[in-house]
Amino acid sequence: MYKQIESNKRKTWFLMIIFFVIIVFFGWIWSQFSNTGYSVVMFAITLALVLNLVSYFKGDKIALAISKAKEIKKEENPYVFRMVENLSMTAGTPMPKVYIIQDPNINAFATGRDPQNSSIAVTTGAIEKLANEELEGVIAHELSHIKNYDIRLMMIVIVCVGIITLLADFFLRTNFIFGYKKSNNKNGGPLIIIGLLLAILSPLFAKLIQLAVSRKREYLADAAGALLTRYPEGLARALEKIDTLNQPMKSANHATAHLYIANPFKVKVVGLFSTHPPLNERVAKLRSMA
C-alpha cells in the first residue's frame, strides 16, 4: 500500500507536467498556424499553469458538480453519515464530506486531493438496494482510494481529459474554417495536416491518459476495503448486484467514469480501453480472501 501511495504521488506530478507540455505544444502549433508569434505560446503557458492549479485545488468540485452530487449533513441521512464516520475512524483517516447522487443505480466514488480534503459520493440506488454489510464494503472500498491517494491522481485525470478533448474539438473546427486561407501559404498544407492529426488523435491520447490510472487500483482498493470491514463477502455481493441490476447512469460522464467503483456505462465487454477490471474477476479475488 505504501508503494502504491508513493507511485500515485509520482504519477500525479508526472501527469501534470505532461498536461502542461501538451497545452504549450498546442499553443505553439496554433501560433505557427495563425502567424501570431510567441504571444500565443505565452498565453498557452499561462493557461496550462492556471488549469493545473484548478485541477489540483478544485478538481473534486468539478467531479462532484458533473455527477450532480449533493452534500448532506448528519441529520439528513444519519445511516450513511454514521457508516462513513465509523469506517473512517477504523481506517484512521479524516472524515470525508458525504454526498448523495440521485440515481437508482448502485455506484459510488471518492474524490479530493488528499485525505484531509476528500469526499465520498454514494447513489441513492446503493443506499436503497444494498444490505448494511454490502454498503459498508462499497464505502470501505472508496475510503481505501482516499487512503491510497488514488483520489488525487484520478481527480487530475478528469481535467486533463476534459481540456484535451475541448482543445481537439477547437483545433478541428478552426482547421476547417481557416484551412483554405492557409492554402496559399507554403507552410499552410503541412500545418493543416498536423492540426487535423492532433485533433483526431487527441481523444485517443486523452483516453490513454485516463488509462494511466491503472486498473490494478481497483483490486487493491477491493482488498484494502475487505480488510477494513473484515468481511470480503459484503463487497463481493455488492459487486454482484451492480453487475446484475445496474443500467447506464444518467449523470455519468466519460471524463469521470474512472472514478466510480464500477463503470457507470454498464460495459459488458472489458477490453484494453476499459477503466475498470471485470466485475466477476474482482468478486473471485474477494472470495479467495475469505
Cβ pair 154, 258 in contact under 8 A: yes
Tell me the chain's radius of gyration from C-alpha atoms.
Answer: 21
Task: State the CB neighbour count (10 A cutoff) for residue 2.
Answer: 7
- Secondary structure (H, E, C), 106-157: CCEEEEEEECCEEEEEEEHHHHHHCCHHHHHHHHHHHHHHHHCCHHHHHHHH
Helices 2-34 and 150-178 pack at an angle, to 10 degrees, of: 10
Find the Cα–Cα–Cα–Cα dihedral 147, 151, 156, 162, rounded to 10°: 180
Dig out the grid coordinates for 25 from the structure: 505544444
Catalytically annotated residue among 134, 136, 142, 218: 142
Class of residue 136 by CB neighbours under 10 A (exposed 0-12, middle 13-18, buried 19+): buried
Which residues does residue 100 pair with via DSSP β-bridges, in sequence order? Answer: 70, 122
One-letter amino acid at 236 equals A
Whole-angstrom distance, CA of residue 275 vs CA of residue 265: 11
Active site includes 142? Answer: yes
Collapsing DSSP states into helix, strand and coil, what is residue 238? helix
Catalytic residues: 142
